[in-house]
């Protein structure tokens, strides 16, 4: 079981989106701690530095997309909880994320859907 | 279909209205969650016009400064999509979207916030279309541009004589003087592909699928 008092990594090229995701989490877990990255390279560095308990991953970013980055992160830590957080709510995208064993949330985030993942991963 | 820019027939017009009602409804729901206000949407208007004529049909005065959040999409469907709004109202929309953020100046975040609002709204709309057509669509990262309606249209369709399928819908934040519009711009080849998929969608609807 993962520790509940760890860092949550927010990966998104939009700082406004990172703020929104952070707010959604703080409403449910007021004591949460965060680190941020704005692309795949930064995300890999941040994962190594912070050992996050959860990664909230945007899909459409400059360079590698969120699914590609998540696949790389999962190859190094198969148990790392990752939720794809995206405005791209196509069924095909949702299916691909779920097939990779990732969580999936559409933007704007619905609190109950986020809570279900936090409970699932005991965070 | 020999001429992709032949006039839309009544069945195509009905099919477009049905599809865009679904797509715009999903986009409006996303925007409503974002700004926590009801979004009123108008009946979509679809026109097949030259880019120059389409610019004149955008529902703004000729020299009104506009903000356009635009994205290119490709895959099963291709074209350009833009969320357009008067520059004067854009900061109000940003302030609504950032209402949870304590102690920040919305003006400082206007560009980022507009990009994210546009990202959410246009992707919601495109996702509904992709699902209806059972075709996956890839979207570019949205960009924010400013200009009057002619400058915005030149950015979306650089050749003024090319035919574009222009669809406009009014998104109004209820109780606020904030109107925005969504426009799709497709060139000849994209219109042809779109109409082929539209026909398949209509056939499926008529077959009860």
**Contact between B119 and A89 using a beta-carbon 8 Å cutoff:** no
Contact between residue B202 and residue B12 where contact means Cβ atoms under 8 Å apart = yes
As for the ipTM of the complex, it is 0.74
Beta bridge partners of B143: B70
CA angle A12, A14, A20 (to 5 degrees): 85
- List chain A residues with CB under 8 Å of B133: none
Chain A interface includes B101 (CB < 8 A): yes
Res. A3 pLDDT band, cuts 50 70 90: very low
**Contact between A93 and B98 using a beta-carbon 8 Å cutoff:** no
Chain segment B132-158, per-residue pLDDT in tens: 888 899 999 999 999 999 999 999 888
Of B177, B157, B190, which is closest to residue B57 (Cα–Cα)? B157
Chain A interface includes B103 (CB < 8 A): no
Chain A interface includes B116 (CB < 8 A): yes
- List chain B residues with CB under 8 Å of A89: 26, 123-124, 127
- Is A2's pLDDT higher than 50? no
Taking the CA of residue B152 and the nearest CA in chain A, the distance in Å comes to: 23
B22 vs A67, higher pLDDT: A67
Burial of B158-181, coded b for 16+ CB within 10 Å and e otherwise, reads eeeebbbbbbbbbbbbeeeebbbb
Q: What is the sign, positive or negative, of the torsion defined by CA atoms of A38, A18, B81, B99?
A: negative
**Contact between A88 and B101 using a beta-carbon 8 Å cutoff:** no
- List chain B residues with CB under 8 Å of A60: 119, 139, 141
Average pLDDT over residues B162-181: 81
Contact between residue A53 and residue A2 where contact means Cβ atoms under 8 Å apart = yes
Res. B208 pLDDT band, cuts 50 70 90: low
Distance CA B41, CA B182 (A): 11
Contact between residue A49 and residue A69 where contact means Cβ atoms under 8 Å apart = no
Q: Enumerate residues 142 to 201 of chain B having a beta carbon within 8 A of any beta carbon in chain A.
A: none
High-pLDDT (> 70) share of chain B, %: 98
**DSSP of chain A:** ---SSSEEEEE-S-HHHHHHHHHHHHHH-TT-EEEEESSHHHHHHHHHHH--SEEEEESS-SSS-HHHHHHHHHHH-TT--EEEEES---HHHHHHHHHTT-EEEESSPPHHHHHHHHHHTT-
**Contact between B137 and A110 using a beta-carbon 8 Å cutoff:** no
The burial of B130, by beta-carbon neighbours within 10 Å (0-12 exposed, 13-18 middle, 19 or more buried), is given as buried
Taking the CA of residue A44 and the nearest CA in chain B, the distance in Å comes to: 21
Contact between residue A53 and residue A3 where contact means Cβ atoms under 8 Å apart = yes
Cβ-Cβ contacts under 8 Å between A and B: the total is 64
Burial of B48-83, coded b for 16+ CB within 10 Å and e otherwise, reads bebbbbbbeebebeeeeebbbbbbebeebbbbbbbb
């Amino acid at each position: 079981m993962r520790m509940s008092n760890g860092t949550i990594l927010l990966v998104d090229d939009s700082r406004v989106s990172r703020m929104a995701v952070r707010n959604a989490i703080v409403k449910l877990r007021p004591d949460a701690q965060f680190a941020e990255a704005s692309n795949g390279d930064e995300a890999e560095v941040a994962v190594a530095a912070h050992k996050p308990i959860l990664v909230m991953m945007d899909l459409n970013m400059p360079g590698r997309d969120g699914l590609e980055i998540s696949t790389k992160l999962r190859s190094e830590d198969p148990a790392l909880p990752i939720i794809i957080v995206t405005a791209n709510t196509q069924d095909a995208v949702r299916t691909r994320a779920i097939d990779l064993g990732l969580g999936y949330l559409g933007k704007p985030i619905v609190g109950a859907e986020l809570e279900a993942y936090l409970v699932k991963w005991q965070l | 279909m020999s001429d992709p820019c032949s006039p839309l027939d009544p069945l195509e017009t009905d099919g477009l209205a049905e599809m865009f009602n679904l797509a715009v409804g999903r986009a409006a729901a996303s925007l409503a969650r974002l700004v926590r206000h009801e979004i009123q949407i108008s009946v979509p208007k679809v026109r097949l016009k030259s880019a120059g004529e389409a610019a004149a049909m955008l529902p703004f005065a000729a020299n009104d400064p506009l903000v356009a959040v635009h994205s290119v999409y490709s895959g099963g469907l291709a074209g350009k999509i833009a969320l357009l709004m008067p520059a004067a109202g854009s900061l109000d929309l940003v302030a609504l979207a950032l209402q949870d953020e304590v102690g920040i100046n919305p003006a400082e975040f206007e560009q980022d916030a507009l990009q994210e609002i546009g990202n959410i709204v246009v992707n919601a709309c495109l996702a509904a279309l992709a699902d209806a057509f059972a075709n996956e669509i890839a979207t570019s990262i949205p960009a924010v541009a400013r200009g009057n309606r002619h400058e915005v249209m030149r950015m979306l369709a650089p050749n003024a004589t090319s035919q574009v399928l222009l669809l406009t819908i009014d998104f109004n934040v209820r109780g606020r003087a904030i109107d925005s519009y969504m426009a799709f711009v497709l060139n000849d080849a994209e219109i042809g592909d779109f109409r082929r998929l539209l026909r398949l969608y209509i056939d499926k609807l008529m077959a009860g699928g």
